[in-house]
Amino acid sequence: MTQEYILNELKTIFKQINPNLDVDAVTLDTRLVEDLGLDSLTILLMSFAIEKNFEIKFSGAPKFAAVGEVVEYIEILTA
């Protein structure tokens, strides 16, 4: 699974969480809270969607600052 594939899947998830979000501007450096405006609830929704979409399970509450960290974590769990 490539970073590009994971990033595109994440963009779909972000769009589901916030339909007004411009996902074309999302990169690996995009910050979840500062740039995307995610809060604790939307991060939880994102986590559930990621678990379902990628068929993985987070151990505990995820603590990600940027999209690239999420991509790397998914890469590790799906390798």
- pLDDT of amino acid 60: 74
3-65, what's its fold? 1.10.1200
- Cα–Cα distance measured from residue 29 to residue 49, given in angstroms and rounded to the nearest whole number: 21
- Show the tokens assigned to 68: 């690239």
- pLDDT of amino acid 77: 87
Residue bearing the bigger pLDDT, 58 or 11: 11
- pLDDT of amino acid 19: 92
Span 19-69, pLDDT tens digits:
998 999 999 999 999 999 999 889 889 999 999 999 999 877 778 999 999
Domains of the chain by residue range: 3-65
CA atoms within 13 A on the CB side of 14: 25
